[in-house]
Chain A
Amino acid sequence: VILAGMDIVYVGLILVLFALVGLMAVGLDRL
């Protein structure tokens, strides 16, 4: 298996942070 386990953790961390920044953009748009 090339991708598994820790890949999900690290990729997940970055994608969650991207999602948070995206939410920040929506929030600031309504500021």
Chain B
Amino acid sequence: VHTVGFLVLLAVVVLGGAYFLSAYMKLVYEGGRTWLSPVLRPVERLIYRVLRVDPEHDMSALQYTRAVLMFSAAGFLAVYLLERVQGHLGLNPISLKGVRPDIAMNTAISFVTNTNWQAYVPETTMSYLTQAAGLAVQNFVSAATGMAVAVALVRGFTRSGRSGIGNFWADLVRGVLYILIPISLVIAVVLVARGSVMTFDGPAHVKTLEGAAQTITRGPAASQVAIKQLGTNGGGFFNANSAHPFESSTPFTDFLHIAVLLLIPFSFPFLYGRMLGRMKEGLAILAAMLILISSLYAVSLAAETRTTPALTAAGLVHAPNLEGKEMRNTVQEASIFSISTTVTSTGAVNSAHDSLTAVAGGAAMTGILLGEIAPGGVGTGLYGILMFAVIAVFVGGLMVGRTPEYLGKTIGAREVKLALIGTLVMPIGFLIWVGVSAVLHDGLSAPLNAGPHGFSEILYTFASVWNNNGSAMAGVSVATPYYDSMTGAAMLLGRFAVIVPALALAGTLAKQKTRPIGPGTMPTASPMFVGLLVGVILLVGALSFFPALALGPVAEALTGRLF
């Protein structure tokens, strides 16, 4: 009953919030006047003047892509440099030295790509300056970049016979200024009020009740924690992430963490419907997302609330899987968190994913491997599922012998090629990376477990980085030059080799004249299309990943043994 109540409350808060937020987001991305405009419009204009940007300039798809890539490459260089020279800069109370090159590269590209894969221990590696001016800044702008790309793709559907898809700089600035900063400010204040830490003071040195000396790390955490969830970034200020009491202190803040990480991703299908002027189309996409996320919640909860091989061996047959759980959160909440963080591109954790049962770990991995489209990361989820929708329309058109059309746009060879490239880059890259790492000594030396579970740890690692998730089955020692290089390259390609075809698709669709919808057009705001879309997503996922999953979580679950 508690679990059902938790999920119902979560659904009401998230979907209700997303519905209203999407109306505000539509105004923001259209450059309209919002209730924050009197305060923020002058700031926005000042930024454009400093950057010498004309927000009205309509960019072609290639210009938009170039701006995304240049901005992200510059962000990478800035964060890398900051990490390397942090020992010579301020806000470094425990005098941390410069971060070593492979970790600095891995972390910089990780935060620029919205992955927040952390191959380091934050408390003992990053100065407050690096965390606040480097990593937290990227949390904002990388999230806004994903949101901008999604909005650009939707413009592709709404525009007719136009060569432009919007202005990246305007979309970026508006996303950060009007959406991410105000909401994360409110959340950060709430977190501080509920016990999260926010200070530039160094660690506290205390004497415990037993008389022992203890060092308690602190720092400017609450502000970074708020945006890490809101922007589906996921990188913890502390190594224990959302299980750390200074990141999430109470059951209320645990609920808040989950609700906030789902908020913007679920706003996007509503925003899609609003921008199209056809809310039913957005609701169809939302329905597909809800079917997938609900299925994964059910599988994970069923697996986590039953006994495990270790508990059975200890004679406990009626206990849930308590291993790796922060006991302030229930097993059920940890299960819901693990799915919420993997079906979005968040990657924050409030329990140890390496300790999930084989089935629950497989469910989390499935959420990631489906491409994080249910609902996915901020913006990335929508453009990911829309590329699947284009493929579904094409397949549906072939099956019934109709010209494939989606929202009045003809889905021809070029559109299908771009959508296929966008959806297949990740599976191909992921499988190559796993295959190479499963045979090389450097790859095999990282997992700490044997057998199928050890293989699952490698699988999870590359699923996470290729999909810009950032969570890990932490039983992998990835702070090595090999893993830092492989995961660094995967994060970059998993992000930008998908954004590039998505924006090219946006440009192609915008150029097309929109045709009136006739009796021959396949209805896409219908339960049948929702079923077709879910089918295509599962089919691509199953064909791509089932053999790999069979060797990992499936084999582990079938043996019922500990590895």
| Residues 49 to 100 of chain B near chain A (Cβ within 8 Å) | 61-62, 65-66, 69, 72-73, 76-77, 80-81, 84-85, 88, 98
- Contacts known (A11-B77, A22-B69); A17 close to B504, Cβ less than 8 A: no
**Shortest beta-carbon distance from B548 to chain A in Å:** 24
B418 touches A7 (CB 8 A): no
Q: Which of A10, A17, A25, A28 contacts B493 (CB 8 A)?
A: A17
A15 engages B73 (CB within 8 Å): yes
User: Per a CB cutoff under 8 Å, which of A3, A14, A18, A26 touches B84?
Assistant: A3
> In residues 485-508 of chain B, which contact A (Cβ within 8 Å)?
485, 488-489, 492-493, 496-497, 500-501, 503-504, 507
Cβ of A29 and Cβ of B84 under 8 Å apart?
A: no
For window 372-420 of B, CB contacts with A under 8 Å fall at 414, 417-418
Measured between alpha carbons, how far is A22 from B414 in the docked complex, in Å?
A: 19
Partner pick for B417 among A21, A25, A31, CB 8 A cutoff: A31
On whether the beta carbons of A17 and B500 are closer than 8 Å, the reply is no
B102 interface contact, C-beta 8 A: yes
List, sorted by A's number, 12 A–B pairs whose CB atoms are closer than 8 Å.
Answer: A3-B85, A10-B80, A13-B105, A13-B485, A14-B76, A14-B105, A18-B73, A24-B500, A25-B62, A29-B62, A29-B507, A31-B414
Partner-A contacts on B (CB < 8 A):
61-62, 65-66, 69, 72-73, 76-77, 80-81, 84-85, 88, 98, 101-102, 104-105, 108-109, 414, 417-418, 421, 485, 488-489, 492-493, 496-497, 500-501, 503-504, 507
List the B side residues contacting A21 at CB < 8 Å. 69, 492-493, 496-497, 500
| B549 → chain A closest CB, angstroms | 28
Chain A residues whose C-beta falls within 8 Å of the C-beta of B102 in the assembled complex: 6, 10
Contact with B along A1-13 (1 / 0, CB 8 A): 0110111011101
Measured between C-beta atoms, what is the minimum distance from B417 to chain A in Å?
6
In the complex, which of the residues B66, B104, B500 has the most CB atoms of chain A within 10 Å of its own CB atom? B500
Cα A23 to Cα B489 with chains together (Å) = 16
B62 CB, min distance to chain A CBs, angstroms? 5
The distance in angstroms between the C-alpha atoms of A11 and B503, with both chains bound, is 26
- In the complex, the answer to whether A28 meets B84 with C-beta atoms within 8 Å is no
| Contact in complex: B489, A29 (CB < 8 Å) | no
CB closest chain-B residue, reference A29: B62
Q: Nearest CB to that of B77 among chain A residues?
A: A11
Residue of B nearest to A7 (CB): B101
Asked whether, in the complex, the Cβ of B62 is within 8 Å of the Cβ of A26, the reply is yes
Of chain A, the residue at the smallest CB distance from B421 is A28
Q: What are the 5 tightest A-B residue pairs by CB atom distance, in nearest-first order? A: A10-B105, A6-B101, A28-B504, A21-B496, A25-B65
> Shortest beta-carbon distance, A24 to chain B, in Å?
5
Residues of chain B contacted by A2 (CB below 8 angstroms):
84-85, 88, 98
Look across to chain B and name the residue whose beta carbon is closest to the beta carbon of A4.
B101
By the criterion CB–CB under 8 Å, are B496 and A10 in contact? Answer: no
Contact B101 A25 (CB under 8 A): no
**Chain B residues with CB below 8 A from A5, complex form:** 101
A13 touches B414 (CB 8 A): no
Contact B65 A18 (CB under 8 A): no
CA distance A2 to B65 in the complex (A): 33
User: Contacts A24-B500, A28-B501, A29-B61 hold; do A10 and B101 have CB atoms under 8 A apart?
Assistant: yes
Q: Are B88 and A25 in contact (CB under 8 A)?
A: no
A residues in contact with B418, CB < 8 Å: 28, 31
Q: How far is the CA of A9 from the CA of B88 in the complex (A)?
A: 23
Q: Which residues of A contact B105 (CB under 8 A)?
A: 10-11, 13-14
Q: Do A25 and B66 form a contact, CB below 8 Å, given A6-B101, A31-B418?
A: yes
